[in-house]
Amino acid sequence: MVVTDEPLKLLAVVRKQWFKLARGLQRERASTVNAQKILHLTYAVTRMHNLRFVAKTPAMRPDADVFFIDNTELKQLPPRCFSLYLTTSIPALLLKQTILQLAPQSLIVDYADTVGDLAQELRPKALLHEQVQTRWQAVLDFFAPLHIDIVTLSSEATTKPSILDDTIDVLLDYSTEFLQVAGTFQHTLQLAQPFEPGREIQQQYKTLTQLAHRVQTLNTGKLSDYLDFITGDNSFFLRDSGSGFGTQRSELSELFMWHKAAGRFRICEKIEAMLIRENFGTPF
């Protein structure tokens, strides 16, 4: 939700800048050969292009994503509103009523210095950064008894892709607990944005995301999703996006035998389960 004196004008300016950023991501995607990065950038660009900006209230356009309104229309926030941008002054009583509607851990960006005395009722954003550290420690504490070293994983995964599969094979025995810990961390990290830790720490965060995506996909995803997330041998994921099931099954058969030879029997079980779940024939 963006509160401004000129909703239509600010909407036009923000949308223009938004699509400029999207074009930047498209150029970045075109310049990389890393399949995993291409996939993530594709998702990001698609989401950016599909985001709906409106200069109307949530009641008028409940299907929209970003609302630009003036302070006379600030009555009801959209469901699960986590970001409120203030570019103009708002009466104290109205602002207080609006704050009460916000979900816990929401972010208020006050460009107009309108919060004033109400600031004491809000927590500083620095606390979200501290929560990121706390949630990350919870991830490390979860990994410790499983002898998973995220530092080693993040530094060696690009040269030894199979090291991720070995870790995933272990995590599949603890899928529910792992996805809960990883999901809580990702949610906290998202709320804390913009947040720029050191490069090595960022790489560790990305490695956690890779692990979570793969574990989630192996448990509840589709065959095509799993093949898209493969980060091992390039031959497994540099494929025609329009390939049919016959090609997919051939690729999965190859993957299955590779995992089996490496002793990753939990991953093999999940691949077999995906085939059965999607009625694509008997297991290998």
Residue that wins the pLDDT comparison between 271 and 199: 199
* Banded model confidence at residue 241, pLDDT cuts 50, 70, 90: very low
Looking at the fold, whether 184 and 153 belong to one and the same domain comes out as yes
Burial of 252 (0-12, 13-18, 19+ CB in 10 A): buried
At a CB cut-off of 8 Å and minimum separation 6, what does 275 contact? 223, 249, 252, 281, 282, 283, 284
Please give the average per-residue pLDDT across 235-259, as a whole number: 56
How many CA atoms does the CB half-sphere of 204 hold within 13 Å?
A: 19
Looking at the fold, whether 202 and 64 belong to one and the same domain comes out as no
Euclidean distance between CA atoms 28 and 140, whole angstroms: 32
Q: Which helix (H) or strand (E) holds 276?
A: helix 265-277
Looking at the fold, whether 96 and 151 belong to one and the same domain comes out as no
Residue 283 lies in a domain: no
Residue 11, Ramachandran bin (φ over 0: left; ψ between -120 and 50: alpha; else beta): alpha
At a CB cut-off of 8 Å and minimum separation 6, what does 95 contact? 114, 115, 118
Domain end residue (candidates: 87, 121, 155)? 121
Structural domain range at position 72: 2-121
How many domains are contained in the chain? Answer: 2
Which tens digits make up the pLDDT trace of 158-197?
777 788 889 999 999 999 999 999 999 998 888 787 788 8
Which tens digits make up the pLDDT trace of 63-113?
999 999 998 898 888 878 888 999 998 888 888 888 888 887 788 888 988
Q: Where is average pLDDT lowest: 122-131, 164-173, 235-244?
A: 235-244
Euclidean distance between CA atoms 63 and 48, whole angstroms: 15
Residue 78 lies in a domain: yes
Looking at the fold, whether 82 and 183 belong to one and the same domain comes out as no
Residue type, 121: E
Looking at the fold, whether 114 and 150 belong to one and the same domain comes out as no
260: nearest Cα among 171, 173, 148, 165: 165
Residue 187 lies in a domain: yes
Q: Which helix (H) or strand (E) holds 67?
A: strand 66-69
Count the residues in the chain: 284
Which tens digits make up the pLDDT trace of 139-153?
999 999 999 999 999
At a CB cut-off of 8 Å and minimum separation 6, what does 98 contact? 74, 77, 84, 90
Looking at the fold, whether 52 and 168 belong to one and the same domain comes out as no
Looking at the fold, whether 172 and 86 belong to one and the same domain comes out as no
Looking at the fold, whether 252 and 188 belong to one and the same domain comes out as yes
SS3 call for 123: coil
Looking at the fold, whether 90 and 27 belong to one and the same domain comes out as yes
223: nearest Cα among 283, 183, 161: 283
- pLDDT at position 56 over 80: yes
Looking at the fold, whether 138 and 94 belong to one and the same domain comes out as no
What average pLDDT does the structure give for the chain? 83
Residue 284 lies in a domain: no
